[in-house]
Amino acid sequence: MANEVLTISAGSIETGETDVKVTIEGDSEMPFWNHDLKVKAILALLNSIDIKHYYEDNIQDKGFESAKEIINSTRSAFGLDLF
């Protein structure tokens, strides 16, 4: 197991602008791909979300759309969309 630092950015290829940048640091059993470390970070982020805050800001529909997108992306990433 190695301690890894991984930086992931998302944005627009056309404009070159970065919408979000995430740096993850922790132990990984996959030193080249770091997928296990990414999963740990995803779970930590998901566990910090509270839908009631979406309701408080009156954007619960965006919260539910985000949940669907997360579920679809998860199914795709783990090959569960093939079944």
Euclidean distance between CA atoms 53 and 71, whole angstroms: 20
Output the CA torsion sign for 55, 73, 10, 49: positive
Q: The tokens of 53 are what?
A: 């805050």
Query: What stretch of H or E contains 23?
Result: strand 18-28
Q: Pick the residue with more confidence: 56 or 16? A: 56
Stated pTM of the model:
0.82
pLDDT at 53: 97
> CA-CA distances (angstroms) from residue 82 to 16, 68, 79?
33, 17, 6
Reported as a single tens digit per residue, the pLDDT across 19-56 is: 999 999 999 999 899 999 999 999 999 999 999 999 99
pLDDT at 47: 96
